[in-house]
Amino acid sequence: MSPRVPAGRRPLVLQVLQALLMMLLAPWRLWALEDDECTWQFVLNKFDRVGQDSARDRFFHQEPVDTVESVFRTLVDEPIDLEEKYLGFPYFLKINYSCEGAPSEALIRKGHLTGLKPVVLVTFHSPVNFRRWKTEQLQIQMEAAPFRSKEACNAEEVCSMSWYTPMPIKNGSVVMHVDISSNGLGPIIPRKRFHLNINGFLKMQQDNTIQFTVGNELFNLLPEYFVNVPSRPLWYTVDQAPVLILGGIPNEKSILLTDTCFEDFSLVELNIDSCWVGSFYCPQANFSATIHDAIATESTLFIRENQLVYYFTGTYSILQESTSSGSWVRVLANECIKRLCPVELHSNGSEYVMALTTGKNEGYVHFGTITDGRVSFEMLPKQWSVCSGIQVDKCSIIWAVFSGATNDLLLLVDRRDPAARKHFLVVGYNLVTEELFILYEIPEFIPDARGLEFLMLQRAESYTTTPMVPRGMFYNPYNNLLFIWGNFLLQSYDREDYIYLADFPKESTIKYLVNSFRGDLAIVTETEEIWYLLEGSYNVYKLFPSEGWEVLVSLQVMHESSLYSASETMVTLFYEQSKLYQLVYLLKGPESRLVKRLVPVEQLLVYQKLKNSYVLESQRNFLTPTFTNFCPFTVMRLQDLPNPQRYTRQERYRALPPRVVEPSGFHNEHSLAIYQGLVYYLLWLHSKYDKPYADPVHDPTWRWWKNKKQDQSYYFYLASNPRSTGDTYIEMDSYGKIYDLKAEAELPERIFLDKGSSYSFSVFLTARGHAFSINQMLGSPFLLNSHLGLGVVLADPACLKVMVSQSIFVNRNSASFRVLLKDKSVCFAQGISGHHLKRTSMLVKVVGSAGHCFRNTHQGPRMQGNLMVPVLIGCPPGKRLAFDITFTLNYNRVVNKHYFDCVQVDPEMPCFLFRDILYPFFLIQDLVTGDSGSFQGRYVLKVVGGGPTLDTIRDYSQEEIYRYNNPLDKTHSLIWTARNRTTMEDLAFNLKPGQRLGMEWLCLKNSPCHDTVPRSIFAPEFFFKVLVSNRGVDKSTYCDYQLIFLLHIHGLPLSARQSLLFLMVSASIFVGLVVLYLMICFLWPFVVKACNILRWRIKNIMATESYYSYASSRVFSMPSNIPSRVLSKAPSKVPSKASSQLAEKGNDEPEKT
């Protein structure tokens, strides 16, 4: 080891290098310090309000607008198809950023000049009803375009500016979140996520003002609405509700309504009738206008006022048909409802809500189903009440939860015996079998844990004298955890065996639970205490009030934070993207307001650990604290993560703005309209790509540029010179689908597993202190013991299996754990892609890390050691079966030695000749990863419809399908048969293994294609609707691939009767033509002679008439001096032939005067 050089004696070179290093690092540190205080901001603008500084629009228009078509018509030298219809979206995203202590306009100009461009990632959430809409995880990544403000400016170049991107809208999706990040140039601004949902409860008035359809907006938040008012839970369908509502305002029929997860909100007074009259079966002690329960679903809002229930369905044209209720609808009018219970997760293509009754129907549950905005309620149990089912005279249902995976309704029942003693039961009811059963009887008193963190209840433990008073239940379908809460907290994984969590004090009573569905659980008590539980562990931590909270508030006050106050009231507590948030009313006199703020759970736990993990030791007559870190590792990293798209099923498109010719790089309204139209057309191509005939290239954007790609250099030449008509350049490579997303240093949000598929990764841990020891046993090699342990908890071990292998690196004091998660191929039947997926989860735990291990980040500490990943078992979204028309045509051309297409060629649907053997081929296409390969599984092919033309195609009945496709049919109804016949067990339909098998067309006499009448001079043709499915025959996948496509067959033979009729008609026409020809040839001379005679006679008649006309005119024109006797001697007989000729000659010449 070289001796250390004193600072004053260091060589000059080292001193200079140190100084240079400090100079280089100082600006970076100042820059980083400045950037940490910056944050992204955005608003929505309509197209006609782009560039206005104060413009801000509400997100409720859903239809595309025709504002870009005229712009695209001028782009005659751009690589677009002018024959297509280009539309736009109603809104743009206006993006800015701000930093404390500096003007925002100067900051934005600085960012633009240093190359900053915001990158916007819009994520569309899948709809609830997968039967109407395709289940998919879709994202589009855009780059914001700089745009000058339209406000008055005295500067030569720019005063204020912003960045703009189109705000895309997708059919079937009303919930979106927007991630804004930097492109890596300019200031480093942390990535930020915003919720941006469509509000279907707004409408435009005739005076262009926006009004709520559910009521009237109030603009005065009075302190008495929140001060000293108990907090209430925020209930909604997780990841599906675009609008959240919150009631509980005392003596007011008003709610808080938001479509941005309380980034902003409105106070709305509901237009409902508050009249309610009690009756002998529905007692009411006092009347209140307070909205007690409020639940938000994808398109419908539910509220309970007193004992009345109302719902309102919003206007969502992109989600469903026009099913808006238009006003609040009262349901269960003859019932006395005491509580609404939410169902946080949707299932089976629907959402659910439950209403608990009192009075005459005590012991029943009204089970509500919401599908496409249509609401229906059913009273359960169907046969008898719960009280009768458990054989008691009187009972009351306190709470209800629903499990969509098993169709089980779990009820918390208060059973009262004749001695007026209360006994609480957990009762199950299955909606399919209609079976009612008791799952668990809750102990009468709270157990005595005797200092333990948790206690397994086995009826043999000792109990305290404090009664157990349950208040509600909560069920997490991802890890099968059922919580029963009151003045205690019980949890169960199987609904039968329960664990008592002793850290929660029996002196407190839980009011409601909040779950993140990612392994976190927050608890709110009646005294507004906040507790925290990490699922999978047994420690319950008190967050508020606590010493850690006092430290946090003190530090925030020192930083003059505007989110904390000495007097405040919590309104609600909720999770958003696995982070815990509070909605708090800050009482600051005239500046009192309602704010949303983050609850830093990890920071609070760190403060508490620092308070409780040190000891005072005497050193040199001074007491110094010595801190103990109970975390078993110092470094935890995830390694060997596979590319995420195969498992997350996340589809992502990229769309960059068109390049502009202006040197400053600013866009104008013309280029923004082009950008919007291109993004719209990109998403339109995505929606139209799911078609039965596969394209030659497996990419939705292939058709967009297939005829323009070879001219890419020419378009670039026009734009670079510049000679483009629109002063823009559309780069074809800037619009496409991304298939190669790389894994980040964390596990994905969710994992989809098909049959037998697996997911693997590695966890690298560096131990704290000496974690390894070597023990030598007699007759065996050295054994290496490790104090680092990794465990994996599976919510459904019957469905999944996990294998963990350990590698130890002694020289690095580290260990690596290889985790392999695999499906057992037993827990799911075949289903449509993305339908009826089974929810489960995997929890990776480092032994001894729960609540002790934290990692410092630029956003504060983050908990380590517990990794919970939701797992969805079934057919993953984004997989489909397609007809490989390209390979089918090529193969049939080779095998049959020829190929004859129809006379009228349709490139989208080629024809096949009837007499040729058809060899169809199919593809399994992965729309997420871009993989496309020949289908090698087993499948069933059936003709399920058809017709001689596209307009006459009809679907066949089940009986007809059976006869037309059954190879053992005896009714002469077969349409086709297979050359190498392989049948199912019931010999019903032809089964085709994944090999070259041909279809031979028969069209027997009782089939619909027999005796087809030709519609022209060409041979008859027929359109067959063909169904291909692997359901029940292919055991290699969970996917039920169903493909329905049309086959155009031409050259159908005529039947004997039709041929004879055709021959007779043809012969008759031929003979008739010959006879007509002969008759014309024989009679033609006579016809000519008759025509000549007729012509001669007509001329004679005309000559005679002309003569008389001439003679009459001569008589009337004689001189008046001729004696009348001369005239009287004139002959009066008919003129001779000579005179007639003379008259005719005189008639041919014009008269001369």
Q: Would you state the structure tokens that stand for residue 893, as one six-digit string?
A: 């051309």
Residues across the chain? 1153
How far, in Å, CA of 192 to CA of 93, rounded? 14
Q: How many other C-beta atoms are found inside a 10 Å radius of the C-beta of residue 553?
A: 16
Q: What pLDDT is recorded for position 1125?
A: 43
How far, in Å, CA of 487 to CA of 468, rounded? 7
Residue type, 978: A
SS3 for 724?
Answer: coil
Q: What pLDDT is recorded for position 662?
A: 81
Average pLDDT for 500-526: 95
Q: Are 599 and 580 in contact (CB under 8 A)?
A: yes
Q: Are 1009 and 975 in contact (CB under 8 A)?
A: yes
Question: Is 882's pLDDT higher than 90?
Answer: yes
DSSP 495-521: SSS-EEETTS-TTS-EEEEEE-SSSEE
Antiparallel, parallel or unpaired: β 751-753 and 866-873: parallel
Q: 573: Cβ–Cβ under 8 A, 6 or more apart, which residues? A: 231, 233, 234, 514, 522, 524, 530, 580, 581, 582, 583, 599
Interhelix angle 547-558/601-612, nearest 10 degrees: 110
Q: What pLDDT is recorded for position 277?
A: 54
Residue-wise pLDDT tens digits, 81-100:
888 889 999 999 999 998 87
Confidence band for 1114, pLDDT divided at 50, 70 and 90: low
How far, in Å, CA of 732 to CA of 218, rounded? 49
How far, in Å, CA of 168 to CA of 175, rounded? 12
Apex CA 1010: angle with CA 1005 and CA 1015, to 5°? Answer: 155
Q: Would you state the structure tokens that stand for residue 742, as one six-digit string?
A: 């790389």
Antiparallel, parallel or unpaired: β 782-786 and 790-794: unpaired
Strands (E) in 462-608, as ranges, are 463-467, 470-476, 481-486, 489-492, 499-501, 510-515, 520-525, 530-534, 540-544, 568-576, 579-586, 593-598
Q: What pLDDT is recorded for position 371?
A: 92
Q: What pLDDT is recorded for position 958?
A: 92
How far, in Å, CA of 343 to CA of 402, rounded? 7
Question: Is 1026's pLDDT higher than 90?
Answer: yes
Task: Report the range of poorest mean pLDDT among 102-116, 399-413, 487-501, 734-748.
Answer: 102-116
Q: Would you state the structure tokens that stand for residue 169, as one six-digit string?
A: 């809208």
Q: 492: Cβ–Cβ under 8 A, 6 or more apart, which residues? A: 440, 481, 482, 484, 498, 499
What is the dihedral angle through the alpha carbons of 774, 777, 779, 781, rounded to the nearest 10 degrees? -20
Question: Is 1145's pLDDT higher than 50?
Answer: no
Average pLDDT for 689-716: 89
Residue-wise pLDDT tens digits, 560-608:
888 999 899 999 999 999 999 999 999 988 889 999 999 999 999 999 8
Residue 894 φ/ψ region, left for φ over 0, alpha for ψ in the -120 to 50 degree band, beta for the rest = alpha
Q: How many other C-beta atoms are found inside a 10 Å radius of the C-beta of residue 46?
A: 16
Longest dimension (CA), the chain: 180
Q: What residues does 767 pair with on adjacent strands? A: 633
- Helix and strand numbers (H, E) in the chain are 15, 70
Nearest Cα neighbor of 373 from 350, 391, 395, 396 is 350
Question: Is 997's pLDDT higher than 80?
Answer: no
Confidence band for 420, pLDDT divided at 50, 70 and 90: low
Q: What pLDDT is recorded for position 142?
A: 96
Q: Would you state the structure tokens that stand for residue 244, as one six-digit string?
A: 């959240």
Q: Are 477 and 498 in contact (CB under 8 A)?
A: no
Produce one character per residue of 904-931: b if its CB has 16 or more CB atoms within 10 Å, e if not: eeeeebbbbbbebbbbbbbbbbbbbbee
How far, in Å, CA of 740 to CA of 735, rounded? 15
Helix (H) or strand (E) holding 705: helix 702-705
Q: 167: Cβ–Cβ under 8 A, 6 or more apart, which residues? A: 44, 59, 89, 90, 91, 92, 93, 122, 196
DSSP 200-228: TTEEE-TTS-EEESSEEEE----GGGTTT
Question: Is 170's pLDDT higher than 70?
Answer: yes
Residue type, 581: Y
Omega before residue 79 within 30° of 0, cis: no
Q: What pLDDT is recorded for position 893?
A: 92
Nearest Cα neighbor of 574 from 526, 517, 527 is 517
Q: Would you state the structure tokens that stand for residue 1011, as one six-digit string?
A: 């005796």
Quote the DSSP letter at residue 769. Answer: S
Q: Are 314 and 60 in contact (CB under 8 A)?
A: no
Q: What pLDDT is recorded for position 279?
A: 52
Q: Would you state the structure tokens that stand for residue 1007, as one six-digit string?
A: 């089939």
Q: What residues does 659 pair with on adjacent strands? A: 729
Average pLDDT for 438-458: 93
Q: What pLDDT is recorded for position 880?
A: 92
DSSP 1007-1036: STTTTPPPSSSSPPEEEEEEEEE-TTT--S
Question: Is 1133's pLDDT higher than 60?
Answer: no
Quote the DSSP letter at residue 282. Answer: B
Confidence band for 10, pLDDT divided at 50, 70 and 90: very low
* pLDDT above 70: percentage of residues in the chain: 88
Task: Report the range of poorest mean pLDDT among 510-519, 566-575, 596-605, 1067-1076.
Answer: 1067-1076
Q: What residues does 863 pair with on adjacent strands? A: 854
**How high is the mean pLDDT of the chain?**
86
Asked whether the CA dihedral 197, 199, 204, 208 is positive or negative, the reply is: negative
3-state SS record for 851-897: CCCEEEECCEEEECCEEEEEEEECCCCCEEEEECHHHHHHHHHHHCC
How far, in Å, CA of 167 to CA of 463, rounded? 60
Q: What residues does 944 pair with on adjacent strands? A: none
Task: Report the range of poorest mean pLDDT among 827-831, 886-890, 977-981.
Answer: 977-981
Residue type, 760: S
Question: Is 22's pLDDT higher than 60?
Answer: no
Question: Is 1034's pLDDT higher than 60?
Answer: yes
Interhelix angle 1137-1148/1056-1116, nearest 10 degrees: 100
